[in-house]
Amino acid sequence: MNRPRLDSKTVVIIGGTTGLGLSAAKAFLNSGARVVAVGRNPESVRAAQLELGGDAFVLSADAARSDTAPQAIEEALNRFGGFHGLYHVAGGSGRRMGDGPLHELTDAGWEATLNLNLTSVFYSNRAAVLQFQRQKSGGSILNLTSVLAYSPSPRFFATHAYATAKAAIIGLTCTSAAYYASASIRFNALAPALVETPMAQRAVQDDSIRQFIHTKQPLEGGRVGQPEDTDAAAVFFLSDDSRFITGQVLAVDGGWSVSEGQYPPDPPHPGPGES
């Protein structure tokens, strides 16, 4: 069976300069696509442009601005002559902004985390639909959610605004899939678990979390995911091989959502006179 291909397609990746997005950009290019990737950090934008080469254009912009996705789509049209698919990866932890368990979650943390992880998806998905309607064409929209949207981990990943945003992405994906199916505009989502990306360094470097992941993500020896683990699924959903699929959420999670996971034992408490 031949692998899915993206020949003659131009794909916009919102959040395509690091981690999962950059890995996907490379996979899309290797599958024959041309790519417009958006990143917020100018340094990562420059590095990604050098790494991806001439069949990609890398744009420095903030995914949480309403004009970013339309600008990226316009670049796709002007530079590569078309727009066929959107992959929204941009997002991140709101922990430093005040996200956390509900009783600790601040107003600012809630607003900032939802803006980064949910409002940005609304902006990009809306822009993609509007362009597909102008073209009178179908197209594929793929959103990145998380297993935390429906499979919580209260001890190590208690960021409730983040989980809420990721759950809402599923709602937006499914309701949009239903509404636009007759126009052949498809919406699907990928739900990874813990993947080693710049955003995940707190978790990846924590020995207790790594021990937990060994049983919570038991595939391939119980490891933390790598960005390239999601690439094949992303290529498939952006390709014509998935032309009869919409409204689906695919967990690429190493078994997280079907495994209990075992917490590592707590370290012993010092006895009297010990320190």
Taking only the tens of pLDDT, the chain with its 275 residues reads 578 899 999 999 999 999 999 999 999 999 999 999 999 999 999 999 999 999 999 999 999 999 999 999 999 999 999 999 999 999 999 999 999 999 999 999 999 999 999 999 999 999 999 999 999 999 999 999 999 999 999 999 999 999 999 999 999 999 999 999 999 999 999 999 999 998 788 888 999 999 999 999 999 999 999 999 999 999 999 999 999 999 999 999 999 999 999 988 875 444 444 43
Give Cβ neighbours of residue 148 (< 8 Å, ≥ 6 apart): 157, 159, 162, 163, 166
Strand extents, DSSP E, 115-267: 139-144, 185-192, 248-252
| Closest of 12, 180, 183 to residue 84, by C-alpha | 12
CATH for 10-253, among 3.40.50.720, 3.40.50.11740, 3.40.1160.10, 3.40.50.300?
3.40.50.720
